[in-house]
Amino acid sequence: MSGILIVVIVIAIVGFYVMSLYNSLVRMRNQVKEAWSDIEVQLKRRFDLIPNLLSTVKGYAKYESETLEKIIAARSATFSQPQTVQQVAKAEGELTGALKSLFALSENYPDLKANTNFLELQRELRDTEDKIQAARRFYNGNVMAFNTKIQQFPANVIAGHFHFTQEPLFELAAEEQAAKQPVKVEF
């Protein structure tokens, strides 16, 4: 009788451990999804600010249609269809680059630089860019924790059995890799 009781207790302990491990994987996967949702919210906020910025700039920079068209195209690519993390990262990088060109362009138009609407929109976009960066770091932290967990033993056995798969990191697009390089200072 005591042998059967020991076997039942061992089976119960293993069962609770497997259940606990499975639940922690589900929780971590949901945290990754929530973190991705935070990125999408901030990208949508930026997406909504851009038309106001463009309409403000159009009045001043009539001859700079190429830059404005790049921003419109990059903005359209951002939310045109459901995309993978890599596709969103690429589109987000292109849009960021186009916006940098727009702000550099504003240097040529002193009246635009002094326009309160433009300054407020520029401030809001800068704030949104900071929030996007924070959301990306939060997402990548959650992805790293989740991917590490599903690769470690014994969680990898449970993860494989229940089809938990690695999530991709939100990485800089190839065009933004130059931003990682150290700045050369020459005298």
Which residues contact residue 168 at a Cβ distance below 8 angstroms, ignoring those fewer than 6 apart? 84, 85, 86, 143
pLDDT at residue 66 in the model: 65
Flag whether pLDDT at 163 surpasses 70.
Answer: yes
Q: List the one residue out of 12, 29, 9 whose CA is nearest residue 166.
A: 29
At 183, the pLDDT band (50, 70, 90 cuts) reads: very low
pLDDT at residue 176 in the model: 52
pLDDT at residue 114 in the model: 63
Distance CA 39, CA 131 (A): 8
Residue 47 near residue 79 (C-beta atoms within 8 A): yes
Structure tokens at 150: 């599903």
Flag whether pLDDT at 100 surpasses 80.
Answer: no
Q: What is the mean pLDDT of residues 56-61?
A: 66
Reduced to 3 states, what is the DSSP secondary structure of residue 163?
Answer: coil
**What is the set of domains in the chain, with CATH numbers?**
2-137+149-167 (1.20.1440.20)
Model pTM?
Answer: 0.72
Flag whether pLDDT at 167 surpasses 70.
Answer: yes
Structure tokens at 73: 């195209």
